[in-house]
Amino acid sequence: LLSPAPLADLDTAALREAHAAFAQAYDELKAAGLALDITRGKPSADQLDLSNDLLHLPDGAYRDAAGTDLRNYGGPNGLPELRAIFADALRVPVAQLLALGNSSLTIMHDTIAQALIHGVPGGELPWGRQSISFLAPVPGYDRHFTILERFGIRMIPVPMNEDGPDVEAVASLLAADDSIKGMWCVPVYSNPTGAVYSEEVVRALVSMPAAPDFRLFWDNAYAVHHLSDDRPAPIDVLALAAEAGNPDRPLIFASTSKVTFPGAGVAFFGASEANVAWFQHNAAAQSIGPDKLNQLRHVQLLKDADGLSAHMEKHRTILEPKFAAVDTAFRERLAPWGAGTWNAPKGGYFVSLDVLDGSAKRAVQLAKEAGIAVTPAGATFPYGDDPRDANIRIAPTFPPVEELRTALDGLCTAILLAEAETLLA
Ligand code: PLP
């Protein structure tokens, strides 16, 4: 039997032998006729079950705490009770936190559209009348990149570290180029690397010199999505930005998509008073108010900040074994061959795996041909272009754990074969 050693250290004969063994394992995998999917970060059915009370709430009730009839138009800022539940976790004062529609991605998209058409506070011209660009920490969230591609906004990749984006790279880019108007930030359990921005990084981002209409798109999608007891203290980016003399720099986004029901949840927007006023002015032309009955349902389900924490603990109980399964599979199958490096995130929805340079696309293709759908390689980079062709995003939340194990094992088989091919080429 072949004994594992780092593939990169093998001589050609040993590599050929390994390749033959991997090819045989791959043929067996293909013959198994699997049909598995680990592409997107969706909650599993048993996670969705945690919020099933939403299906019968608000149970005849239709007034908020102030007695307002929520069945009617109005209340553009959203239910104060719901905003209060999330204010602490997001570190945004209730008065500056709006509860809106069902998707934070929609708010991000529309905020950029409004900035393109009208400009933002502090800016001289609408973004759309300038040739503008955004900084995109990589690997990052593909749908962020898609918004910018759709609007024709140039993206400049910047490297991610374990404590957030490389602030020196960010600072030197911003200093050299005032066409940079925005930057994507997923400050807590970043998609896909799980990185948590340190306070030092956040202070640097809010204080470094930049164009007056430069904005941090602070997508705090995973603020309460912990997978361990080792939790980052929430960072008050608005206060730090104000302290640094740039109160209008952060625009905060979040949602209950992975708290309750994706697509039937509630999204939030938070910012400085000036930005909130700008946002409200734009939003007033778009809508006569959000779905406040859905917000009421959410208040009844979650009750308060403690209720939110307790609810997220139930998610954690379901998710922990799945993230452990990823770590175990890679440890057992990839590590002995030196075939990958990955993170063990303390929260969020993803694991980021780096395979041998030049092997990610091939590995994902081989997995697909064996009936295992994985997020396309390159998706975590602007324009789908991973210059090293090394990064693969693993989304372990959706499948039942047994299916996940089978999919991961098959993916490892595909990765080993792809790497042996790369090294023999
Ligand atoms: N932001 C990040 C970082 C995400 O990973 C996701 C979903 O995967 C979203 C936003 C989508 O949010 P929403 O469902 O609120 O549109």
Beta-carbon contacts of residue 149 (< 8 Å; ≥ 6 apart)? 155, 382, 383
CA 298 from chain center: how many Å? 22
* Protein residue whose Cα sits closest to atom 6 of ligand 1: 221
Residues (pLDDT < 70) of the chain are: 1
Q: Which residues lie across from 218 on neighbouring strands? A: 185, 252
Question: Identity (one letter) of the amino acid at 418?
Answer: A
- Give this complex's ipTM: 0.99
Q: What is the C-alpha to C-alpha distance for residues 207 and 329, in angstroms, rounded to an integer?
A: 42
The label of the residue with tokens 């030196």 reads 338
Beta-carbon contacts of residue 364 (< 8 Å; ≥ 6 apart)? 374, 375, 376, 377, 392, 414
The label of the residue with tokens 């990185």 reads 195
- Is there an atom of ligand 1 within 6 Å of 191 CB? yes
CA of 104 to the centre of ligand 1 (A): 7
- Is there an atom of ligand 1 within 6 Å of 260 CB? no
Mutate to test the pocket of ligand 1, among 219, 252, 394 (most ligand atoms within 8 A of CB): 219
pLDDT given at position 58: 97
- Is there an atom of ligand 1 within 6 Å of 105 CB? yes
List the domains of the chain with CATH numbers: 7-47+309-424 (3.90.1150.10), 62-303 (3.40.640.10)
Q: What is the C-alpha to C-alpha distance for residues 170 and 18, in angstroms, rounded to an integer?
A: 42
- Is there an atom of ligand 1 within 6 Å of 219 CB? yes
The label of the residue with tokens 């609810």 reads 311
Confirm if 180 and 173 have CB atoms less than 8 A apart.
yes
CA of 125 to the centre of ligand 1 (A): 29
- Is there an atom of ligand 1 within 6 Å of 133 CB? no
Tokens of 238: 């608005």
pLDDT given at position 259: 98
Q: What is the C-alpha to C-alpha distance for residues 378 and 421, in angstroms, rounded to an integer?
A: 19
Confirm if 47 and 315 have CB atoms less than 8 A apart.
yes
Atom number of ligand 1 nearest to Cα 107 = 16
CA of 191 to the centre of ligand 1 (A): 9
Element spanning 314, H or E = helix 305-329
371 SS3 class: coil
